[in-house]
Structure 1
């Protein structure tokens, strides 16, 4: 059950000039499902990516990193669902390379101008022959206005597509920002989400775009968690086509800050939609930690709360067993934490202060807050001025059922 997840109407999803998208049925895992998506990029497009820090990085992640570091102009992306091509060794790398070679051959490009992406079951061979056979159909179907359909085609256990689209004005000129993402489980990004693709028709040099991609990931996809598991396939890609005629060459350009804000807003919206559609979730929780000594401390505490199965199951039950939150704060690992300075709020209700339960707290107030589909947990550590925020969800019976049956 998705929690207050906004899906824009198809006609409210703006094409990004310079990007065309096509889809086809490859039969990677299931028949009669569009499980292959290609993004075709006009010449002059710059591309930057941020990828998982999981040491078992999937074959397509390794190939993407290699192709991006080669300096070649990236001109196409190929995405398959149903199989992660992870934990597949040399054969997996060969399969990703073969996909790139096949698509490059159709487009008259070099293999290192293609980025491959996979998502699905780990430790199973990729049926690359099926993917290669379906590539011509995917390319033939490519259109500029296929973002809405692509958001559906890259889904796995997602129940809803994740789409963000906007036109923003920079110094009197309109530019487009449109993105899609997928992910519902195995979400604790150590860079980004499972798969996220963000396009703009503003132009940026590759080096500046890479810097921007890392900053945006840290402010969005690196601030979400569903279950504390960092995927083998996490990939976040930004594409800047320059088709609007606007080219920003440095951070000193007064338009840069506004573009960064628009891209960050898009990525944060996509990231939050992943949590809103998390496997089996019924509650969307914002964990806000304030008065930390530094950002790292704030995140330590926020993630300790967000990862705790006891906290998450209490929220699922709407049970204000809020000692579980204090427990998570206490074991978060912040050195020399003075619990007498900590204040805890649940929504607008102060729950704890001065090392214990707030004298005015009533359990009925806690139950009222926890019954809502969206809940704010706010913690003040009393150690400094730093703050940060993490977005998470509850943990339900359905999460266990979905993951128990994932390969069925």
Structure 2
């Protein structure tokens, strides 16, 4: 008779759960930030392209772009006024004269030294100087006594409301922009918004004058035929037979600082610095949004069942790796005291008090309390052998207390 044979079933592999994020999980978490960065970069590039196209030919009498000023130059030429474009401070200063109107298209681009030198050259010349939308502090240097108000005009088309013949003949014009105030008693203040003018004419001692214009709209090609813009532009720029149109250039040697060398950040346009600041703020907000928030501990079910012995061994290996014999000894003594206290009639709240636990143990064992104090509350062991000996002695003490 043949004995039955038994076949062992193959062992079922234990399922494991990896805590390392997969590529799909990483993409799911990071795609929001990546999308925001892509949109931010695309928006910055779009704004840069639009601004670069917008700045091309702005207030240039040779440009036919919507924001150019070729139409103004053509109208002035029909009335016998010649227009010449200059891009350096020396050319602008040399062109100033009693029969010349000097238009400064971008006063705020001039350095402090350039503004001072230009004002010194135009004041005694006896001609007309037109400042297009100067802001603080350039207006105070090119037109002393004039300050720019921080609140702009929200209406572009304004009525003259002054006695200046050029403004009265032009009527309503799109001068609304920067508003000004002046201490000059003989100044003509026109096109008021909330009692502050957007156009000022300041007479000079030698027959010349300075015109401060709050907005460049009347000089644009696509705005020249609106309101009384053409009439006002013609009268302001055509009072002399020659018009010198000064377009400040960054390549002008006079724009360099008088002393010292320019640093790296001095060479960067202010827009790049503001853009970097915005990117930094956006990155900080994204980090705050995605950062880990440390709250109260939450119990979670483990994906697999782990034996208690494995947990003990794992913690023991960690203690051994960092030579944490003091922590291991404290854990052993604390656990032993907790188990011994109810056996000798000591409340759990007093289990770690030597004044309460040690007398009860001594009475139960009929022994000396000093060895028990060194064993349960003594100093940490000095080496691994002493730690093993401590564990053995604690086990022996617990067995002795439990013995009937």
- Relative to the length of structure 2, the TM-score reads 0.19
**Higher Cα Rg, which structure:** 2
- Relative to the length of structure 1, the TM-score reads 0.19
Structure that is richer in strand per residue: 1
Greater RCO (Cα-Cα under 8 Å, separation 6 or more): 1
